[in-house]
Structure 1
Amino acid sequence: MPNITLSIPPDVYERMKKHKEVKWSEVARRAIIEYLEKIEEKFEISNDELLKMLGEDFVKDLESIPDEKFEEYYEKTREAEWKRLKSFTTRTS
């Protein structure tokens, strides 16, 4: 199994040392797995499921947007998402 190194603040390390019974690598492993599942989960919802969750009023509002405005909003959203993902990748690397 591959190993990774984590940096934590000194005060957290001191608190962890008080609980020698805890397998901290297992805690970190589970937290990473849960986080991955959480961020990967968002890509597993279908468009129909999403629209159903957002409700009929949202769908009506969405259908009333002119194609030109929709394309403009789409481009802005795509650019914002790219910046967010790029920022996230930069912070975690």
Structure 2
Amino acid sequence: MDEFPEINWSEVARQAIAQKLRDLQLLKKMSSKSKLTEAEAIELGRKVNKALVKRYLGTG
């Protein structure tokens, strides 16, 4: 941070925190309507991650 004194680091942190709060609010809203169990959501996430790896690394 000392390398870039012209950057307002408190503003950067404020914006990052605000974005994280927006993300968490969206996730809460989405999950409140979900009928998936936590285990099903984790399994779905793993399948999506594997598919993305295959797509972007060109494997499989």
When normalised by structure 1's length, the TM-score is: 0.33
The structure number with the bigger radius of gyration is 1
Which of 1 and 2 has higher RCO (CA within 8 Å, sep 6+)?
Answer: 2
* TM-score, scaled relative to structure 2: 0.49
